[in-house]
Amino acid sequence: MGKSATKDSDVARSTITAPKLAAKWRKLAEARCAAANERLTPARLAAYAELLASKRPVSAYELIALMEDRQQRKIAPLTVYRHLDFLTRVGLVHRLESTHSYLPCDHPEHAHESQYLLCSSCGHADEVESKPLESILNKIADQRGFQPENTVVEIKGLCASCATSDSD
């Protein structure tokens, strides 16, 4: 997905501001935390809201800057890393391994392994949930007696918008 082709989740997220998290996303977050028997604190919720409001994956230090700017106070990096670990553990956020950045899950209503299409030009990340690809990877691992802890597939290239503008 490029800049011109947006998903419903992109449109829904683009209007979110940290202090006022949209009811839909707040309910999903609360449900995921309840299912994991975890507590969604206001600080964790603020970090999640900042990620939802971002139009691209952000690093921990970018998230710190966003939160400090909004809250008008210093925030310790360790605190933000703990929030990100929590949000990742309960399935609200994914970590992109290649860029060490974080993005909100497009499908937080259920647990899943995700694959990503990452634009090397604009930085857009498109989460793709492919059961057939997940099955193939699990089968390959099983054939080799390998027990995966986490499956991360990241495909770098150009999104539709950047590919179109590059060809002009």
Q: Look at residue 89 and tell me if it is in a domain.
A: yes
Please give the span between the terminal C-alpha atoms of the chain, in angstroms, as a whole number. 18
Task: Identify whether the C-beta of residue 124 lies closer than 8 Å to the C-beta of residue 2.
Answer: yes
User: What's the pLDDT at 149?
Assistant: 86
Count how many domains the chain has.
1
User: What's the pLDDT at 150?
Assistant: 81
Q: Could you tell me the residue range of the domain that residue 32 belongs to?
A: 8-167
Q: Give the distance from CA 77 to its chain's centroid.
A: 19
Tokens of 33: 């935390």
Query: Would you give per-residue pLDDT tens digits along the chain (168 residues)?
Result: 333 344 444 444 444 444 456 788 888 899 999 998 999 999 999 999 999 998 899 999 999 999 999 999 999 999 999 999 999 999 999 999 999 999 999 888 877 788 999 999 998 999 998 889 989 999 999 999 999 888 889 999 999 999 988 766
Tokens of 139: 């089968």
Plot region of 96 (φ>0 → left; ψ -120 to 50 → alpha; else → beta): beta
Q: Look at residue 2 and tell me if it is in a domain.
A: no
Q: How many CA atoms lie within 13 A of 167 on its CB side?
A: 7
Task: Identify whether the C-beta of residue 80 lies closer than 8 Å to the C-beta of residue 64.
Answer: yes
Q: Look at residue 1 and tell me if it is in a domain.
A: no
Q: What is the CATH number of the domain that holds 148?
A: 1.10.10.10
Predicted TM-score (pTM) of this structure: 0.80
Task: Identify whether the C-beta of residue 63 lies closer than 8 Å to the C-beta of residue 51.
Answer: yes
Least Cα distance to 99 among 54, 44, 47, 152 occurs for 152
Plot region of 57 (φ>0 → left; ψ -120 to 50 → alpha; else → beta): beta
User: What's the pLDDT at 22?
Assistant: 74
